[in-house]
A and B are shown apart, each in its own frame.
Chain A
Amino acid sequence: DIVMTQTPLSLSVTPGQTASITCKSSQSLLFSDGKTYLSWYLQKPGQSPQLLIYEVSNLFSGVPDRFSGSGSGTDFTLKISRVEAEDVGVFYCMQSIQLPIIFGQGTRLEIK
């Protein structure tokens, strides 16, 4: 199975500042179709997970452009610019290139 490792596991950010989360996979997530099967989710307190970014850097519909994703192969980053209070929750990366689909451990974001 592919192992997904997120760092840090928690971070505290001042509103208006930038937060970055890293996700490393144990195997390349680039498929022969040219797509990279890495996505990012946010689970706000008491809510269901919501898709933020798919294929590394594509913003899902309705997601603020304060969120951005980058990376390739096995190393990926989620950046949250101008952090707001509504961004609190747990962020997960997920690989879907190979079964079983695997989520990272999650990174908890809190606001200072």
Chain B
Amino acid sequence: EVQLVESGGGLVQPGRSLRLTCRGSGFTFGNHSMTWVRQAPGKGLEWVGFIRSRGHGGTTEYAASVKGRFTISRDDSKSVAYLQMNSLKTEDTAVYYCSKSRYFPHYWGQGALVTVSA
């Protein structure tokens, strides 16, 4: 059974950093791109970015709203993907989901709540 579990969410002050972890199981993690999507309270879904599999270069793509502040990385030996969030803003407050694949994200985690507030 494919499972994705996010962790690392919490309350953080504006300007500070936070790192989310997405741990996958039930599939060959290293063979798949991993996507991050967020959802602000009461709002719709917003794509954050993804990281390609190592076989496709392991490169990353980001939404304009987070580019330069957020970094996605992966450690296939541990079946984890990371979302490093720096210079956080209040508008980054959201539930952050990781999901498998880039073109049609499927199998989503339960989400990690990140609250940016003074």
Contact = CB atoms under 8 A, between A and B. Distances in A.
Interface of A: 37, 39, 41, 43, 48-51, 54-55, 60, 90, 92, 94, 96, 99-106
Contacts, number: 47
Interface in B45-89: 45-47, 61, 63-64
B109 interface: yes
A102 B47 contact: yes
Task: Give the residue among B35, B44, B63, B64 with the most A Cβ atoms within 10 A.
Answer: B44
Task: Give the residue among A41, A60, A101, A102 with the most B Cβ atoms within 10 A.
Answer: A101
A94 B110 CA distance: 20
A102 B105 CA distance: 12
B36 to A, nearest CB: 11
B97 to A, nearest CB: 6
B109 A54 contact: no
Contact of A49 (B61, B63, B97, B102): B97
Contacts of B37: 49
A41 B20 CA distance: 23
A7 to B, nearest CB: 15
Contacts of B44: 90, 92, 103-106
A72 to B, nearest CB: 17
A50 B106 CA distance: 7
Given A48-B110, A100-B47, A101-B35, 19 more contacts: A37-B103, A48-B97, A48-B109, A48-B111, A49-B37, A49-B45, A50-B106, A50-B108, A51-B104, A51-B105, A60-B106, A90-B44, A92-B44, A96-B103, A102-B47, A103-B45, A103-B47, A104-B44, A106-B45
